[in-house]
């Protein structure tokens, strides 16, 4: 693996080309200035929209501003992420963020105004102005919320309470990111050092069991120490959500959470019920893990260590890109040509360098193209990360190319489908061509653990959210004991009876930030199941599925997520996609069992 001391050492071909957004900072400054002027112009429409023509001119100006702001913000963010230590870049991002607040303030009047209109008046406006046809679906979608909007006075009060209602989430964020100090672990030289999150993710996979146990105990130590405080923040967040749902006249907090994506409650419940009905292979995998590790007692800190050791493949970036393109051949020539453009035209920033943002992401910039950040390490994980992010990238590229600005951005609900389809095609390709039994075992272990984390764990979290919100709706108390009891029962139910539960297990709820963004995690599981379903059909050479899937990638948010997925043959209102995904998991566990 090549190590770079600084960004200038990285070959030009492996750095993204931000000149596609702005060739110089003078252009950035000009768009920044233009947005400020447009924001002031938008303010003038407050109280000034009286007909179809004025409504159209407001919406058109707002969209033009949104287009420019997308470029201004993206450029500043990408520049910072190249090297987070550069204060000049940071100042541009700070300015872009401040501008975002001003723009939001300029347009905050619009939604209350729109929902104050009668449906009849809005339709008259649309009929009288040809240009409003473009905005019609978006306007009517906003109107869908009308029955959940309160009177102007009540909305004003709720708006003023907004900051107070967000306190539990902010408090947990401060506890979790700023205040928590983890316990100590033994360093390489035998000295005690303070554990960090980054260290924990490595140590919990360490082959030495004492190292894992020590890291596990140290990691949970502060959460147990602050259990009552964190239980209060979570309880308050849940109660706030339940109260808001009630005030806005949703049947339940769950239905409020599903409303935006127009997902019926049955989809959420079906995900949980179908998963639990087919949980046996998950328990079987736990038994295999215990046997493979040769343990008398399997504990939570044994669940992340890879079961196949000594498999270190060196895969250069060029080789990884070529392997990805070969693996994704079932998606057709158009798809592969787009990927080749990504590499040739420098949409990707490949190498890890000092100060560069960690991790990986895809950022679609409408009117330009996607940008993909990597920290490529020339290994198997990096190959999977590349393939995952390129799935998002092609989704962004196709949606932007085939959709107008208003519907080009796809929802989180469908986002993980495109990336996971790619990963499933990659794992199947690698397994098919790999003859080395150790590497095959390693690949199967990798995918099973990913399946477990992205699907089973998220379904377990989703059920925890459902149960705790229902208790709050029934007026039952929420405290440490209640959270512990629910979480421990679910952990055992999903992972099986082979695991001996340490005291720490039942406190798992206390470290999950997603619980402060309610009814969100289930989307990881539904997206994963949908992707398994689609990839299986693609590997069977189903031309119809291929055509429909490519259309899906071109669809952006032109329809609701469930409707878009139905066009690919995935109907999440039925148990079938979840059952098919769980069938695939069963096959993976059986194949792994045979290999060992």
The pLDDT tens digits of the residues spanning 241-283 come to 999 999 999 999 999 999 999 999 999 999 999 999 999 999 9
pLDDT at 196 over 90: no
> For residue 156, what are its two tokens?
């004003």
Q: So what's the pLDDT on residue 540?
A: 93
SS3 for 345? coil
CA distance 596 to 584: 19
Question: Which residue range(s) make up the domain with 30?
Answer: 10-149
CATH code, domain carrying 120 = 1.20.140.70
Distance (Å, whole) CA 92 – CA 84? 12
- In the predicted model, what is the mean pLDDT of the chain? 93
Q: Of 98, 106, 126, nearest to 46 (Cα)?
A: 106
User: Is 591 among the domain residues?
Assistant: no
Question: Domain for residue 84, yes or no?
Answer: yes
pLDDT at residue 151 tops 90:
no
The pLDDT of residue 338 is: 98
- Identify the CA nearest to 356 among candidates 8, 1, 29: 8
Instruction: Give the CA distances from residue 309 to residues 86, 293, 440, 446, 561, in Å, rounded to whole numbers and listed in that order.
Output: 40, 11, 12, 12, 40
Task: Give 75-124 pLDDT, tens digit per residue.
Answer: 999 999 999 888 888 999 999 999 998 888 888 889 889 988 999 999 99
Q: Comparing 155 with 577, which gets the higher pLDDT?
A: 577
- For the beta carbon of residue 381, count every other beta carbon within 10 angstroms: 11
Neighbours of 485 (CB within 10 A): 12
Residue 268 lies in a domain: no
SS3 of residue 487 by DSSP: helix
Cα 415 off chain centre by: 8
How many domains in the chain?
1
Residue 465 covered by a domain = no
Contact by Cβ (8 Å): 355, 370: no
What is the rounded CA–CA span in Å between residue 62 and residue 431? Answer: 50
Q: Quick one: pLDDT at residue 370?
A: 98
- Separation of alpha carbons 462 and 480, rounded Å: 19
Annotated catalytic residue, options 14, 82, 389, 473 = 389
Q: Is residue 46 part of a domain?
A: yes
Strand bridging mode 192-194 / 348-351? unpaired
User: Residue 389 catalytic?
Assistant: yes
What is the distance between the alpha carbons of residues 440 and 436, in angstroms, rounded to a whole number?
6
The answer to whether residues 480 and 227 touch, using CB atoms and an 8 Å cutoff, is yes
Look at residue 304 in the predicted model and tell me its pLDDT: 93
Q: Is 48 part of a structural domain of the chain?
A: yes
Report the percent of the chain where pLDDT is more than 90. Answer: 80
pLDDT at residue 152 in the model: 65
Q: Is the dihedral of CA 303, 309, 314, 318 positive or negative?
A: negative
Structural domain includes residue 301: no
What is the pLDDT at residue 456?
Answer: 97
Residue 13's CB is within 10 A of a number of other CB atoms, namely 13
Residue 501 pLDDT > 80, yes or no?
yes
**Percent above pLDDT 70 for the chain:** 99
Q: What helix, strand, coil percent values describe the chain, rounded to 5?
A: 70, 5, 25
Q: How far apart are CA 405 and CA 408, in angstroms?
A: 5
Q: Please give the pLDDT value at position 2.
A: 57
Where would I find the beta strands (DSSP E) of 100-230? 184-186, 192-194
For residue 404, the tally of other CB atoms under 10 A from its CB is 12
pLDDT given for residue 369 in this prediction? 97
Closest CA to 439 of 316, 587, 309: 309
pLDDT for 311: 78
User: Distances in Å between the alpha carbon of 184 and those of 135, 199, 221?
Assistant: 57, 11, 10
Sign, CA dihedral 166-171-172-178, equals: positive
The strand ranges marked E within 417-544 are none
Residues 6 or more apart whose CB falls under 8 angstroms from that of 503 comprise: 224
> Residue 337 has what pLDDT?
98
Looking at residue 84, its pLDDT comes to 87
- Higher pLDDT among residues 343 and 439, named by residue: 343
Q: Quick one: tokens of 568?
A: 């690919």
Q: According to the model, what pLDDT value does residue 158 have? A: 78
Q: How confident is the model at residue 177, as a pLDDT? A: 79
Angstrom distance (rounded) from CA 109 to CA 458: 37
CA-nearest of 118, 63, 71, 107 to 92 is: 71
Q: Among 178, 254, 185, which residue's Cα sits nearest to residue 215?
A: 185
Q: Which of 447, 449, 464 is nearest to 511 (CA)?
A: 464
Paired residues of 131 in beta bridges: none
Please give the pLDDT value at position 444. 93
Q: What is the pLDDT of residue 307?
A: 94
The tokens for 194 are 């303070």
> pLDDT per residue over 26-55, tens digit each?
999 999 999 999 999 999 999 999 999 999
**pLDDT, average across residues 167-171:** 90
CA 409 to chain centre: 14
Residues 339-357 have a mean pLDDT of 94
Tell me what the mean pLDDT of segment 211-220 comes to. Answer: 96
Q: What is the pLDDT of residue 585?
A: 96
Evaluate if residue 3 carries a pLDDT over 80. Answer: no
391: in domain: no
Which has the closest alpha carbon to 72: 348, 343, 367, 347? 367
What pLDDT, on a 0 to 100 scale, did the predictor assign at position 552?
Answer: 97
Average pLDDT of the segment spanning 360-365 = 95
Give the pair of three-digit tokens for residue 554. 């071109």
> Is the model's pLDDT at 154 over the cut of 60?
yes
Distance CA 339, CA 324 (A): 9
> 361-364 and 370-376 as β-strands: parallel, antiparallel, unpaired?
antiparallel
């Amino acid at each position: 693996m090549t190590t770079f001391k600084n960004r200038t050492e990285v070959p030009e071909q492996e750095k993204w080309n931000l000149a596609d957004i702005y060739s110089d900072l003078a252009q950035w400054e000009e768009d920044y200035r233009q947005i400020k002027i447009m924001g002031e112009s938008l303010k003038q429409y407050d109280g000034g929209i009286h007909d179809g023509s004025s409504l159209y001119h407001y919406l058109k100006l707002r969209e033009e501003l949104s287009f420019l702001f997308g470029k201004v913000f993206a450029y500043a963010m990408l520049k910072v992420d190249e090297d987070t230590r550069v204060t000049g870049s940071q100042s541009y991002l700070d300015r872009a963020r401040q501008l975002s607040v001003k723009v939001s303030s300029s347009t905050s009047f619009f939604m209350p105004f729109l929902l104050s209109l009668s449906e009849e008046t809005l339709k008259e406006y649309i009929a009288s102005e040809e240009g409003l046809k473009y905005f019609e679906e978006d306007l009517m979608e906003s109107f869908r919320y009308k029955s959940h909007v309160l009177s102007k006075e009540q909305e004003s009060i709720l708006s003023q309470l907004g900051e107070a209602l967000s306190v539990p989430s902010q408090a947990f964020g401060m506890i979790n990111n700023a205040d928590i100090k983890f316990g100590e672990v033994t360093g390489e030289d035998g000295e005690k050092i303070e554990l960090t999150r980054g260290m924990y993710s490595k140590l919990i996979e360490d082959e030495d069991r004492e190292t894992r146990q020590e890291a596990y105990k140290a990691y949970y130590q502060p959460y147990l120490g602050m259990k009552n405080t964190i239980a209060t923040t979570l309880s308050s967040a849940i109660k706030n959500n339940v109260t808001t749902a009630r005030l806005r006249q949703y049947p339940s907090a769950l239905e409020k959470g599903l409303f935006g994506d127009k997902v019926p409650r049955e989809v959420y419940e079906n995900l949980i019920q179908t998963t639990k009905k087919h949980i046996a292979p998950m328990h079987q995998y736990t038994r295999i893990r215990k046997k493979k590790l040769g343990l008398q007692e399997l504990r939570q800190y044994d669940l992340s260590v890879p079961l196949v050791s000594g498999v270190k493949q060196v895969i250069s970036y060029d080789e990884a890109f070529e392997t990805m393109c070969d693996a994704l051949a079932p998606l057709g020539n158009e798809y592969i040509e787009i990927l080749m453009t990504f590499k040739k035209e420098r949409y990707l920033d490949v190498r890890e360098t000092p100060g560069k943002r960690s991790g990986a992401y895809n950022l679609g910039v409408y009117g330009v193209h996607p940008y993909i950040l990597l920290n490529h390490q020339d290994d198997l994980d990096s190959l999977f990360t590349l393939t995952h992010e390129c799935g998002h990238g092609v989704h962004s590229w196709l949606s932007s190319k085939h959709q107008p600005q208003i519907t080009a951005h796809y929802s989180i609900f469908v986002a993980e489908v495109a990336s996971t389809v790619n990963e499933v095609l990659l794992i199947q390709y690698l397994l098919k061509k790999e003859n080395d039994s150790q590497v095959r075992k390693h690949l199967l272990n990798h995918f099973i653990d990913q399946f477990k984390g992205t699907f089973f764990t998220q379904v377990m979290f989703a059920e925890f959210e459902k149960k705790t919100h229902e208790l709050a709706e029934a007026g039952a108390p929420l405290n440490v004991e209640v959270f512990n009891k629910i979480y421990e029962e679910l952990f055992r139910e999903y992972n099986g009876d082979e695991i001996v539960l340490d005291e720490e297990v039942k406190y798992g709820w206390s470290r999950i930030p997603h619980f402060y963004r309610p009814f969100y995690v289930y989307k990881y599981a539904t997206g994963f199941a949908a992707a398994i379903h689609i990839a299986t059909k693609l590997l069977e050479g189903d031309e119809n599925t291929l055509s429909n899937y490519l259309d899906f990638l071109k669809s952006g948010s032109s329809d609701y997520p469930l409707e878009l997925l139905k066009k690919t043959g995935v109907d999440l209102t039925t148990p079938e996609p979840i059952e098919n995904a769980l069938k695939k998991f069963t096959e993976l566990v059986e194949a792994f069992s045979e290999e060992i």
